[in-house]
Amino acid sequence: MKIKILSILVLLILSCSSLKQNGGELLKNNKNIEIAKILILKDNDSLYFNELRLHLSSALHTKKYMFKKFGQWDEAIKINEFKNYLIWKKCRLFEDKEEFYTVTASGVENRKEMYSSIVIQNKDNNDLFSENSKLKDTLISMFYYGTKKTNLSSDKFYNEYLKMRKSIE
């Protein structure tokens, strides 16, 4: 009898625990995540990169996540009245690796669409959200779950973000 009760308890506990999906599963099963090809102009070259788009409650989620994890951005580029890129150079995304990446955070928030986005390149300017990237799934999981934990309450990020917006107008 004790074994039956114990077995039922274990089953209940296991069935209630949530399993995190990996990046590939998230991309396949979650309509709030997509990879979009975007055109980036760099040193008078036209380059296409894959942008991870997270359809969340604010276009600022990836920017704030990066700010909390890596501090102040290295560069801000105004695209238009409603869009800018915040760029972190030489980010060590993985504590167990001595590799550094360039991370560009952006987002769009208007009547037609709303998403927070990220583009990541390695030191050789390789696109880490490309189909053949070995880190693609890991990065999708990192940013999806990381941004979900990011609180959008007013804090130091907003003060710095508003200063940046005024400085590039």
Number of domains in the chain: 1
> Which tokens in the block code for residue 102?
């360039």
34 within a domain of the structure (yes/no): yes
Is residue 140, in this structure, part of any structural domain at all? yes
Residue 39 lies in a domain: yes
∠ CA 161-64-39 to the nearest 5 degrees? Answer: 85
Task: Give, for all 169 residues of the chain, the pLDDT tens digit.
Answer: 667 665 555 554 544 445 566 666 766 677 889 999 998 777 778 889 999 999 988 899 999 999 999 999 999 988 877 788 999 999 999 999 999 999 999 999 988 999 999 999 999 999 999 999 999 999 999 999 999 887 777 678 888 888 888 887 7
3 inside domain: no
Q: Which residue segment(s) compose the domain that 134 sits in? A: 22-167
Domain assignment present for residue 10? The answer is: no
Instruction: Please check whether residue 48 lies inside any domain of the structure.
Output: yes
Which tokens go with 30? 């979650």
Cβ atoms of residues 101 and 114 within 8 Å: no
In a domain, 13, yes or no: no
Cα–Cα distance measured from residue 108 to residue 86, given in angstroms and rounded to the nearest whole number: 13
- Please list the residues that pair with 45 across neighbouring strands: 42
